[in-house]
Amino acid sequence: MCDHTSPRCDHTTAAKLGIELVEAHPDLMPGVLFFGCQRHKATITLETCRRNWDEAHARRGPDDLDRRAACRSCTIGQHLHSTDATDAAEWADVRRPGECVRCARVGLRLVSTTGECVSCWNRRREAERGRNARGRPPMFPHTMTPRRVGLVVDGKPAFRRFLAHHEGEAVSVALRQVDGAKFHNLQPGAAAWNAKACRFEYRCSKHPGEFGALRELVSGDGTVEYICPVCSPGRAVGLPVARVEAATSIMQGEFMAAACEDAQEVWTPTAHVCDRCEHYPIQVRRRPRGAVEAQCPLCDQE
């Protein structure tokens, strides 16, 4: 049973984070409060959440790479249960100067307004014009698409879209534009299939039916706000239904070392953020003997 006086199980902190505690099973477990865990898609107590958090941060063996991985990078769990100041590294500017946000090569001339190297800038311009310098269709066009990134703003999860060629570039652009950027892999709501519209939709946690399909309000800087038409009918008028997008990927370095078989011989950032600090993408490289290793530029800096 949860110790309601323990600082590691603080109901006040839960309320500040927007966690709604309810007596879900009054007949079987009277007085025990539960909340909806989005990562596990289950209703659990704060004490269960604490045990999951402790287990996720315990020493792991080689066979435990994926065990409690979702809990290990959970910002909700960190705010509720973390008392150790060393749980995550404090942000420091370890961004590599002169690194292209798209191809990640270092030491090239960059376009100051976009962070692209000249080669990547040319490929993007070819895609926009539909032809290369010789007037022919481009062979390797860099098509730009608004890609959403999960950022922690004022201690709360927020979302922002950046124009990028791939997911890794969106993360790199966020790092370039936002000092101290911290990422999360949450979603604004549960995704549900709308058979009538033939699409997936985000649904409000309080109104999971069809009328609770979230709308999106996109600001000029790409910030995305999700609005429920039932909770806030006035603000939702005229807004489009929010499109379902992939969450920002937060991974363990060990997993990335095992998964990136095509790693280069130099440290190259991936599209996956370190699950320890949640500030920087994991970098991978292939050693001369063929083994792939991974590091976080912040957590593993010498």
- pLDDT tens digits along 232-260: 999 999 999 999 999 999 999 989 999 99
Q: Is residue 126 within 8 Å of 120, Cβ to Cβ?
A: no
Judge contact between 2 and 46, C-beta under 8 A.
yes
- In this prediction, residue 212 carries a pLDDT of 95
pLDDT at 183: 96
pLDDT given at position 85: 42
DSSP H or E stretch at residue 271: strand 268-274
In sequence order, the 6+-apart residues with CB closer than 8 A to the CB of 35 are 14, 19, 20, 21, 22, 43, 44, 45, 46, 49
Tell me what pLDDT residue 59 has.
56
Which positions of the chain have pLDDT values less than 50? 1-8, 62-63, 65, 85-86
Residue 30 has what pLDDT? 87
Return the pLDDT at 98: 87
160 neighbors 221 (Cβ within 8 angstroms): yes
What 3-state class would DSSP assign to 249?
A: coil
Q: Which of 100, 256, 273, 255 is nearest to 183 (CA)?
A: 273
Instruction: Look at the pTM and tell me if it is higher than 0.75.
Output: no
